[in-house]
Structure 1
């Protein structure tokens, strides 16, 4: 009997799996479910359960046959967290500890679907995990989605970054990192708009609640270098990372305050990963002012101090959007910066709360 089972398993292992057709099969199954939206609730539920059973049968059956397929399945947001896919230890930690909020809202534009899978907000960062599925291969039109943001219905200017992972030519997952404004309340309604280069647009309204496990440490560090007055008033620590807040002032003609960045190193010499940050600047009374934040990975357990080193960091690519008082957006084209001088800031050490 054991020999027969072994022989049967061997035959199963030798069955070729049509990986290239699996996405199409699953997509058609889901579409079949969507086609019955106007039928009675009982019939709709029956289709949904049936589709789920077929999809799970395909996924788990194929995963059992192929370790490669098991790896692909683990990256599908229906089964695994989008946050756990990326090399961000802070998001991975909060995902594994169940601190993220599942959303699962899907919007369709021109036949292409964008789903908000999960969000995380704790005052140090506002992270949004999404997945995008298109009818045709995406190409460059979807590699950088323009985003708009409102808080409780009011337009908010923000800085942030976006990362994407292509799983198939028609399926991607991504993380939108928003540098949260300091005046965000603990609970609010987030309005979020994604727009592709081909003008397809997806709009969402998502309730956000902040996680409470954060600690504030007052620093009040100040220094001057190269005509820049730099102040670091505080850092905020949370399960997803450490957020440093800084302010800088220089002469009106000195725009180097726009390029201040920080390196964080623990007492063992390990440098913390840096995933996002943003700054806003303005000119008033003949001076240029800048305020910004920088986000770092959470330090290892038992870390007591961190040493921060300010420096100038000039991006090689990017861009932005300027928003006036009426909410009108104006794209800002990226222009490479050429530093005319080298500025050296002093390092400073902070005891963690």
Structure 2
């Protein structure tokens, strides 16, 4: 059924089919496999130029229609994993319900949230034909944030049936001032969707613009350092929100270590005293201005589980020759954070 036909449905008499447990497990296994991908890095160096074509494509907001389509109304439910990364996403994110269609592909921007550091956007695709599995956005014009000078992030799209897909994008903008604004303006203008296995590509003209206010959070200053002769890491602060936890840190590598390796970047494993694992060896995004002698970054994950009283943060520095030419792991002592109400 096309998006146009969906919009003309008598939603009061719409029968909704539930998703089977088998389908849920298949999606869960697929996304856990996909989440191991290396994050996509994107630099913004040139102002985008928008060319207006003879064909005008309008972005609509149809929350009442989207609410009647199960996979479109609760996109993030397909991405829930064992870490509970998106547990509170639907509750505290903005319900955007923006739809744009072109060349047989309709895109719905479902929900989005900005925690003051990172942005998470859930979206869905409806296609006229089966594009296959393993598809992604190609042709440039991924998610952009106004006034950001660089951006890092990741994007996952999974197929839930022959003509329906769900996606989630997570990205972190960097601003010239080093200060993240209270409100951000986001644009999404994909040029094509591309199947990595079959090389099938569907081009189109889709365009979305929306703004997000940062959710309320509490920033706790930590300034605790763990180190050895090769590397040290200082946990600067932790920000707690209803949807996320953001660790901000600075890593320092010795000059001898840097002479031996091309890059030295931190990864973290984060657990609580209840046995929950929030991050397992995740490398957060960040930047260096002195060839990895100093690395400043953040690592984000979901909200802390109820009842937890301590966080155990285990840093590991990855010294690498890059491009699969070898690396070394340097384990540091754990940082223990007492959680208060």
Q: TM-score, normalised by structure 2?
A: 0.69
Match of 2:98 among 93, 105, 116: 105
Aligned to 1:291: 296
Deviations 1:202-242 (A, max 9, x none): 33211111222x11111112233362232210111111121
CA contact (8 A) 1:255 1:288 kept: no
Confirm or deny: 8 A CA contact 2:311 2:336 kept in the other structure: yes
- The equivalent position to 2:278 in structure 1, one of 272, 282, 302, is 272
Q: 1:140 to 1:216 in 2, by over 3 A?
A: same
Cα distance in 2 for residues equivalent to 1:314 and 1:191: 36
Equivalent-residue separation in structure 2 for 1:337 and 1:119 (angstroms): 38
- Write out per-residue CA displacement over residues 296-331 of structure 1, whole angstroms, 9 at most, x where no aligned residue: 23222122211100014699xxxxxxxxxxxxxxxx
Q: Does 1:189 align with 2:185?
A: yes
Query: Quick check: 1:304 aligned with 2:278?
Result: no
Q: CA deviation at 1:108?
A: 2.7
Do 2:268 and 2:282's aligned partners in 1 also have CA atoms closer than 8 Å? Answer: no
Q: Structure 1 pair 157/112, CA: closer, same or farther in 2 (3 Å)?
A: same
In structure 1, the partner of 2:49 is none
Which structure shows the higher helix fraction?
Answer: 1
Residue 335 (structure 1) aligned to one of 301, 323, 327: 323
In the alignment, structure 1 segments of 5+ residues that lack a partner are 1-25, 34-47, 316-333
Matched, 1:206 2:210: yes
- The residue number in structure 1 matching 2:144 is 150
1:344 corresponding residue in structure 2: 331
> Which residue matches 2:225?
222
Runs of 4+ in 1 over 6 A off after TM superposition: 66-75
Question: Aligned-pair distance for 1:262?
Answer: 0.7
Farther-moved stretch of structure 1 (172-181 vs 222-231): 222-231
Of Structure 1 and Structure 2, the greater strand share is in: 2
Q: Secondary structure at the match of 2:288?
A: strand
User: What RMSD, in angstroms, separates the aligned Cα atoms of the two structures?
Assistant: 3.5
1:177 maps to: 170
Partner of 1:59: 15
Paired residues in the alignment total 280
Gaps of 5+ in 2: 28-66, 195-200
- The separation in 2 between residues aligned to 1:343 and 1:77, in whole angstroms, is 43
Are the counterparts in 1 of residues 118 and 173 from structure 2 also a CA contact under 8 Å? yes
For residue 85 of structure 1, what is the aligned residue in structure 2? 78
Separation of aligned partners in 2, 1:351 and 1:68: 38
Rg larger in structure: 1
Name the structure 1 match of 2:4.
31
CA–CA distance in structure 1, aligned partners of residues 117 and 281 of structure 2:
12
Q: Distance in 1 between matches of 2:149 and 2:282?
A: 18
